Amino acid sequence: MCMEKTLWEQVVGFHGHSCIGLAMGYRVAEAAMRALGNSRDVDEEMVAIVENDSCAVDAIQVVTGCTLGKGNLIFRDYGKQAYTFVLREKGKAVRVTVKSPDEKRHREIMALREKAAAGEATEEEKGLLKSKTAEVMNECLSAPLEEVVEVKEVDCVIPEKARIFSSVTCSCCGEKVMEPRARVKDGQVTCIPCAENYTRGWGES
């Protein structure tokens, strides 16, 4: 008998593994959907603005339906555990931030993770890292939302819907590039990577 996967299982399946960051994103998305009174996005009626590129963002994509490919997930590289969700028609927006973890336990996990990444952790330390990580993740998933995240209504300029643009051919590499992202180099149309090699001699040997 085939059992339908829970939403959390779908999130883990999409991401590839379970982890603390994924659990945080799951609760962030849950809080946003509850605050906005909205169901999963279908056609860009909701927009998510994420301020990091952590594991949490995968959970947000699955739970809210705001995705990079659909154009209603906007990435801002601020390195902050902060997320803004906007409903276009209602003009309503909430900002969800993750509350600070237990500092002592966070430092312990980070120290163990660094040792493991460097190949210096003992089997006992590897087991400790796994158990502590699972403990924090399970607490994040089961705790009341108000203990995990903070939700505030905010004013937000509503981003326009994703647009489809014509493509042009880069004169250097021959690949297609979206017209608004094209550059001009020596009078020829290029893509950004091919245009960005002007150094004025700096760094040249």
pLDDT digits (tens, 9 = 90+) for 135-156: 999 999 999 999 999 999 999 8
For residues 43-58, b (16+ Cβ closer than 10 Å) or e, as one string? Answer: ebbbbbbbbbebbbbb
Q: Is 148 helix (H, G, I), strand (E, B) or coil?
A: helix
Q: How far apart are CA 120 and CA 42, in angstroms?
A: 47
Take residue 139 and report the two structure tokens written for it: 């607490």
Domains delineated in the chain: 7-153 (3.30.1330.130), 164-205 (3.30.60.20)
Residue 2 has a pLDDT of 63
Q: What is the pTM of this model?
A: 0.83
Residue 5 CA: distances (Å) to CA of 61, 84, 177: 17, 27, 39
Take residue 13 and report the two structure tokens written for it: 């399946």
Which phi and psi angles does 151 have, rounded to 5°? -120, 130
**HEC states along 102-131?**
CHHHHHHHHHHHHHHHCCCCCHHHHHHHHH
- Interval 39-97: pLDDT, tens: 899 989 999 999 999 999 999 999 999 999 999 999 999 999 999 999 998 889 999 99
- Interval 99-142: pLDDT, tens: 987 788 888 888 988 989 999 988 998 898 899 999 999 999 99
Q: Which residues pair with 185 in a beta bridge?
A: 188
Residue 196 CA: distances (Å) to CA of 5, 73, 137, 193: 46, 27, 42, 5
pLDDT higher for 125 or 202? 125
Residue 205 has a pLDDT of 47
